[in-house]
Structure 1
């Protein structure tokens, strides 16, 4: 049916069965038989001959009006599907944690552009929970996330980019603010900030396990938060404490100090997560750009330490 509709529209565009047949690389009788079959399927005449050439009937005009946008949408959908199947989708959709932007996202994108100048990127600042939802819907091609989203590795491809030290973020007036380093056991009497489960699933469990295994205590939590501004508000106003990945040390906030955790295994992970299936050249290049960026950042960190 599609081929007959396309042939019918070509005849209308050309105003001639002969010219349309030549354009479609088929014989005139064969094209005429196609039109007869199409008219049989719709139940009436679609074309009529005149002194001006071949013209559509009222039914032919109605068919053309309805079918042109449908065929255009069909062709667009088919082309986009082919691109996705081949791993060359129109734009790569990258979900990332805003707090990791300066140290990892910006340099990775610069490196990616050097090898894939034609590729388009859509950057989406998403929480781990939003990343998980978007990946499951097929609305995201790649997620840069942390250990709180490690559960996604059971559903998707994943790559651990690096292991990160953990920092303690405290109000500058807190007794621990002037410490060179802090052990987890020193936090047993403080209230810890924890993200809401709807924002970062698993973050509370991660903190509980960390405190129990390395500090020997069960933590007390402040009110759960949904973003970094709320984290720093609790540090300022309630003298709470936050345990954060090392890349957040680049954040500058008045009256907030970042102090390293000295416990040997007090670490977090930075992960890439992407959907199972064909990984196209552009996505492979973006993953590689992040891998190199993380490796260089880790190397620079070792030199400083």
Structure 2
């Protein structure tokens, strides 16, 4: 995949205005909008484009006039890419879990490393992304498991102080013997029907749970130690990335789009619109939510939280760090 320069991204970003974004997101089957590279005959070109993501790509003859995406908007090429329905990637129902004894990181492990099964007792399972620490001026350093709100805080339903178990409940974890941390902070998620989709201000699905240094290890299994992070403005389309997660283990891919706005299915007839997201090639399945995604130099890029059969979706790690007030060891 070719890389996009910062200048190319900025040019498309000017066209991805609130007005244009709202107009496109109202079209039939549209679930997202991002900045990436235009595809032709299934292969990437070298042209930056404003990309519309749809659940299913339909022939033009089947679309109403108001649902057609113009080929060019304000001098910028567009593209339409089918990605299915983006959904949070927790474990799902226990009886539909994929069984891969050779790859699933679903065992009880101590100390806990990034990549292994973890979760609130009321969910099935997600992934411990990495071990992080508080970034405030307190002299007392505290250590946390980083993952998603929907993994550690049960999509806003949990209370601060709730137990976090490893492995997750679908993998046999039970309290109190498998408790490894307590929920410390989470960023609330705007969800329908409580908040109108157009009014959502979500940028992260993130939470942390405090544990003991005796039971937490800052290494990410199979990937290594995190060596810093990449600021948002330096995250580029075409960058090679990797992650370790509970269900699919160690996988690699590349960044397909940045500055994406996407409507994510949270189940129970709830949808959340997220802004400023990263889209990558598909590197995940249900249960991988919470995985930390890094580049080839082990610099943190994003926090995995959703996906579809075609793509994986990440929060920018800069947004996660700033909102949770954390840093990597």
Structure with greater strand percent: 2
The question of a shared fold, defined as TM-score above 0.5 by the shorter chain, is answered with: no
TM-score normalised by structure 2 residue count: 0.23
Structure with greater helix percent: 1
Greater Rg by CA? 1
